[in-house]
Amino acid sequence: MAESTVAVEQEEQLENEVDKEIEKASAQNRRYLRTREIFAFLLTAFGQKNLTQFVNATRQFFMISFLGLSGSAYGTIIFIETLYDALDDSLSGLIIDRTRTRWGKMRPYLLLSTPVWAIAIMMLFTTPSFLESNTQKIIWAVIAIFAHNLGMSYFGVFNILLYDVTPNINERNNLIASQKFMELLGVWIPSLLPFFVDLLPQITDNSVGMQDVYTGFAAIMVVISAATAIYGFFVIRERVPLASREQMKEVSIWQSIKIAFKNRPMLVLQLNYFFNGFKSVGSSSESFFWQHNAGKLSYSTIAGLFTGIPNYFMVPLAPKLIRKFGARNTGIMAGIFGGVAYTILFFIGYKPFGEWDSGEHIVLNLVAITLMLTICGLPNQIINVVSAVLQGDVYDYGEWKYGVRNEALIATVSGYFQKLANAVTGLLSGLVITWVGYTAHKDVFGNVVRETDSDVLRGFWILFCLLPAFARFMYGVSLIFFNVHGKFKVQMLEDLEQRRREKVESMNEESAQPSENSGSADE
C-alpha cells in the first residue's frame, strides 16, 4: 500500500514537472528577446527606413529632373517593372520559406541581398555622361530599377523577421511599436536633403550642384543601411514557432500557394496594403510641390521639423488604441480620419494667404500648410502599427486554419501589392505630370528652375492631396472585411496556445521513449 502511495506521488510529481515545462514553453509566459538583440533589430529598422524613405521620396524627382526621363516614360517603366515583381516576389517568398541554414531561413538574405540593392541605388541617383540619347537613359533606368526591386525582394525579409524572433504575442506587439518609433528617426536624415539641395550650390558657387547632392545622399543612405543590416545579421536570432519548420517540409510549393490564397484575412490585407501604398503618390510628388508651388525644396525640411513631432506620440498611443478598439477598428478610424484631412487640405489650397513670392505670405502659407500636413499625418504611425499587427494576425490565422506559417510567401505577396500600388501611383503621377505639360528646365549650372505655369502647379497640388485622400478612405473601408478580430481572434489565439502545449507534450514523450526502450532491452 505504501509502495502504491509512493508510486502515485512520484507520478503526480512527474506530471507537475511536465506541466511546469509546458508552462515555461508557453509562448505567452516567456521572454525571448535579449536587450542586445532588440537594439540590433531597431538599429536595422533605422537603417532600412532611411534608405526606403530616401528612395521613395526622391527617385521620381531625380529621374525626371536630372536623368531627363519624361513623366510618362518613368511611370511606364515603374509599371512594367512591377509586373515582373509579381513573379520575382512569389519566387523569393517560396525560396525563403524553404531556406534552411545554420543562421536561420531569413537572416542570410540580409547579407546576400545587400550588394545588389546597394549598386542599384547608386545607379538610380547617377547620370553618367555616356547616356546621350533618350533610349540609353531609359535602358539605364530599367536596369537600375530592375536590380533595385530584385535586391529589395530579398532584403525585405527584415520586415517579417520580427514575426519569427519571438512567438510571444505581447513581446511581438511591443517590438512592432518600438520598431515604428525607431523608424520615425529614419525620416530625419532624408528630410535634410532639400536643405542641402538649396544651400550647397549657393555656398559653393555651384561647384556642387543639386544633382551632386542627391548622389552624395544616396551614398550615405547606402552605407548606413548596409552597415546596420550586416550588424543585424550577426546579432538577431530566429525562433520559428513550434513545428513550423517540419510542417513546411511536408507542404509542396503548390500547396503553399493555394493555402496562402485561401487565407481570407491575407487577401483583405493585400487590398489594404495596396491602398496604403497608393498613398505614397503624395510623398513621391512632394519634391515637385515644394520646388515649384512653394518655390524652395528646403521649405519641406522646415515643415518636416513640425509635422513629424506628433508621430512620437502616435506610436506609443497606437498599442493603447489597439487594446481598446482592436487593430481592425483602429485602422478603420485612422483611414477615414486621414481621408477627411487631406480633402480639407485640398480645398484650403496651397496659398491661402496669397502668392508665395511675397515674404509675408511665405511665412503664413508655410505655417498653414505645415499645420494641415501635421493633422493629415496624425494617423500615419497608427496605420503603420495596425498594419504590422494585422500581418501577424494573418500568420497566426494561417497556422490556426491550415497548420502552416508561410510568412515569407505571404510577406512577399504583400510586398507585391505594395509595389503594385507604387507602380499605379508612379504611372498615374507620371501621366498627370506629362498631361499638365511639365518639362524640367535647368539653368547653366544644371540646377532645376521653378515652374510658374498655373495648370502645372494645379496638377502638382492634385497629386499632393486628392490621391492620398482617396487612398486613406479606401484603406479604412477595406478593413471592414478583415475577419480576425474581437472574440474570434481571442479564441483563435487560445486554440494556438493549446496546440503548442500539446506539441511540447508530444515532444517530451517522444524524447523519453528511446530511454524506456533501452531500459527494457537491458533488463
Average pLDDT per consecutive 10 residues, the chain (523 residues; last block may be shorter): 54 53 52 81 86 86 88 83 69 70 79 92 92 91 90 77 73 77 75 86 86 93 92 80 48 62 79 77 75 86 83 83 90 94 94 83 91 92 86 81 68 66 71 77 77 86 88 91 85 81 67 51 39
Spell out the SS3 assignment of 436-481: CCCCCCECCCCCECCCCCHHHHHHHHHHHHHHHHHHHHHHHHHHHH
Rounded Cα gap, residues 341 and 291, in angstroms: 23
Closest to 409 (Cα-Cα) out of 106, 80, 111: 106
Do residues 155 and 117 lie in contact, with contact meaning Cβ atoms separated by under 8 Å?
A: yes
Rounded Cα gap, residues 393 and 331, in angstroms: 14
Beta bridge partners of 448: 442
Rounded Cα gap, residues 318 and 176, in angstroms: 10
Return the pLDDT at 222.
Answer: 94
Rounded Cα gap, residues 82 and 89, in angstroms: 10
Identify the three-state secondary structure at position 448.
Answer: strand
Return the pLDDT at 522.
Answer: 41
Identify the three-state secondary structure at position 120.
Answer: helix
Rounded Cα gap, residues 405 and 98, in angstroms: 12
Backbone phi, psi, residue 184, to 5°? -60, -35
Return the pLDDT at 212.
Answer: 92
Do residues 104 and 416 lie in contact, with contact meaning Cβ atoms separated by under 8 Å?
A: no
CATH of 34-493, one of 2.40.50.1020, 3.40.50.720, 1.20.1250.20, 3.30.565.10: 1.20.1250.20
* Cα 334–chain centre separation: 18
Q: What's the DSSP call for residue 235?
A: H
Rounded Cα gap, residues 237 and 449, in angstroms: 50
Backbone phi, psi, residue 358, to 5°? -80, 135
Do residues 365 and 353 lie in contact, with contact meaning Cβ atoms separated by under 8 Å?
A: yes
Tell me how many degrees the CA angle 347-352-357 measures, rounded to the nearest 5. Answer: 135
Do residues 496 and 396 lie in contact, with contact meaning Cβ atoms separated by under 8 Å?
A: yes
The contacts of residue 194 (CB under 8 Å, 6+ apart) are 287, 290, 296, 297, 298, 299, 300, 301
Rounded Cα gap, residues 336 and 109, in angstroms: 37
Do residues 319 and 367 lie in contact, with contact meaning Cβ atoms separated by under 8 Å?
A: no
Return the pLDDT at 18.
Answer: 47
DSSP string over 338-352: HHHHHHHHHHH-S-T
**C-alpha distances out from residue 191 to 199, 295, 476, Å:** 14, 17, 28
> In this structure, how many other beta carbons lie within 10 angstroms of the beta carbon of residue 179?
24
pTM: 0.64
Beta bridge partners of 442: 448
Tell me how many degrees the CA angle 381-383-387 measures, rounded to the nearest 5. Answer: 120
Do residues 262 and 458 lie in contact, with contact meaning Cβ atoms separated by under 8 Å?
A: no
Return the pLDDT at 430.
Answer: 74
